[in-house]
Amino acid sequence: MAGGERIIVVGGGIAAARAVESARAAGFGGDLVVLTDERRRPYERPPLSKGYLLGTDASSAVYPLDAAWFREHRVDVRTGVAVRGLDPAEHTVDASGETLRYDRLLLATGSSPRRFAGPGAGLRGIHHLRRLTDATALRRALTGGGRRVVVVGGGWIGLEVAAAARRHGNEVVVVARGVPLASAIGAELGESFQAMHEGEGVRFRIPDQVTAVRGVNGRVAAVVLGTGEEVSADVVVFGIGATPNTRLAASAGIDVRDGVLTDASLATSAPDVYAAGDVAATWNERLGRHLRVDHWANADAGGRLAGRALAGEAVRFDELPYFYTDQYDLGMEYSGYGQLTAGAPPVIRGDLAAREYVAFWLADGRVVAGMNVNVWDVNAAVQRLIRSERVVSPEELADPAVPLDALAGDAA
């Protein structure tokens, strides 16, 4: 590939970091430019709701590549730059008023948290968690304990924030529309997570929702529930989902649905424009449709693959969706297609009551998803089992004496 070419990466997350790293490793010798609207080099987000929020990780833990790497590999990272326009026909972007030309471009614009828009939305003490600045502000609000914290939302982020808030010594109430995590792992396992939090002193208001936030002197004092009841609060954290940042792509006429549509090579409908990470809805052969995955592993793997594509390699994205969580003393890994698990009861291998188990979900007799909780060194085998598409029985899955590798068809 010609050394005089330029690749531009729009975004400042893990997908952007891995893309430039991978492009250089693949031999691209031209200009590499990263445009991010944040005031720091690309970083990853899992620590923001885990170790960094707990105070056990320093801010340096969020950076996959140090500043010296970008200098040594001649990557021009431009921070605080808002990309206001993209012209695929001219191969240009408007970067805070400056027109930059590219030969190939990666959209790694990520997603943004859904924000509470009801009465009281502008009060001090309301938090949404997405960026390092968000996590820093929330950590300050939680540190020292003694505060009344209301977490709105029963998803992974909400429960991780609840765990961190309790570890800091705060009172915590979680308000959710249903059993926590039920949409991801089903009611039975969601209730197990809820029971764990209740054992740590977290209170739940289910099913309920926050319709307003009431303040005193411009600061949060309480949340108003759908029943009209008020719950006192010093800190309110909304973890009610995220939406992909597709505005730039849509304004350029690129095909967008729930994310920027790409084929399996991460190419969008615009020539020489690719997308990866939370913003990308990538064609998935197993599902026969586009799939957007809003988790770190997808952005990490997608960024690496995108870098190779930008460098001129023929690539194909076939990573299994994967994510993990840490809450109190519980660690969990999940692999597979949650879209195929609806209505399927989990098959449990291990001790659900002790929270040491592997859960499997089947569709047509084949494992389509698996989750290991406080059981380690099995996720690779779970992924092989999913990829094998072998028909297995629930009895074999539940029996710890039957090796997972054998079920996946691996040689002994």
Give tens-digit pLDDT for 315-368.
999 999 999 999 999 999 999 999 999 889 999 999 999 999 999 999 999 999
Q: How many domains does the chain have?
A: 3
Show the tokens assigned to 283: 């064609």
- One-letter amino acid identity for 131? R
In terms of domains, do 119 and 80 share one?
Answer: no
Indicate whether 321 belongs to any domain.
Answer: no
Number of Cα atoms under 13 Å in the Cβ half of residue 123 = 25
* Domain containing residue 358: CATH number: 3.30.390.30
In terms of domains, do 122 and 219 share one?
Answer: yes
d(CA 32, CA 83) in angstroms, rounded, equals 16
In terms of domains, do 224 and 123 share one?
Answer: yes
- One-letter amino acid identity for 369? A
Which residues fall within 8 angstroms of residue 260, CB to CB, at 6 or more apart? 107, 244, 246, 249, 254, 268, 275, 279, 280, 281
pLDDT tens, position by position, 236-264: 999 999 999 999 999 999 999 999 999 99
d(CA 388, CA 372) in angstroms, rounded, equals 18
Indicate whether 412 belongs to any domain.
Answer: no
Indicate whether 389 belongs to any domain.
Answer: yes
In terms of domains, do 220 and 269 share one?
Answer: no
In terms of domains, do 371 and 303 share one?
Answer: no
Pairing of strands 126-128, 148-152: unpaired
pLDDT tens, position by position, 278-289: 999 999 999 999
Indicate whether 363 belongs to any domain.
Answer: yes
Indicate whether 322 belongs to any domain.
Answer: no
In terms of domains, do 131 and 219 share one?
Answer: yes
In terms of domains, do 232 and 269 share one?
Answer: no
Tell me the backbone φ, ψ of residue 200, rounded to 5 degrees. Answer: -95, 5
CB 14 within 8 A of CB 301: no
Domain carrying residue 298: 6-112+243-310
Domain edge (last residue) among 261, 279, 310: 310
Q: Nearest Cα to 43, choosing from 309, 300, 406?
A: 300
In terms of domains, do 279 and 301 share one?
Answer: yes
Q: What is the pLDDT of residue 1?
A: 45
Say if residue 412's pLDDT is above 90. no
d(CA 45, CA 34) in angstroms, rounded, equals 18
Domain edge (last residue) among 210, 240, 270: 240
The number of residues making up the chain comes to 412
**DSSP H helical ranges for 109-261:** 132-142, 156-167, 182-185, 187-199, 247-251
Phi-psi map region of 61: left, alpha, beta (phi>0 left; psi -120 to 50 alpha): alpha
pLDDT tens, position by position, 14-33: 999 999 999 999 999 999 99
Look up the pTM and report it.
0.94
In terms of domains, do 220 and 364 share one?
Answer: no
* Domain containing residue 136: CATH number: 3.50.50.60
Mean pLDDT of the chain: 96
Say if residue 3's pLDDT is above 70. no
Q: What is the pLDDT of residue 114?
A: 96
Domain edge (last residue) among 240, 275, 294: 240
In terms of domains, do 86 and 160 share one?
Answer: no
pLDDT tens, position by position, 160-202: 999 999 999 999 999 999 999 999 999 999 999 999 999 999 9
Indicate whether 317 belongs to any domain.
Answer: no
Q: What is the pLDDT of residue 4?
A: 87
Q: What is the pLDDT of residue 104?
A: 98
In terms of domains, do 26 and 133 share one?
Answer: no
Indicate whether 303 belongs to any domain.
Answer: yes
Q: Nearest Cα to 138, choosing from 112, 110, 111, 160?
A: 160
In terms of domains, do 102 and 45 share one?
Answer: yes
Indicate whether 315 belongs to any domain.
Answer: no
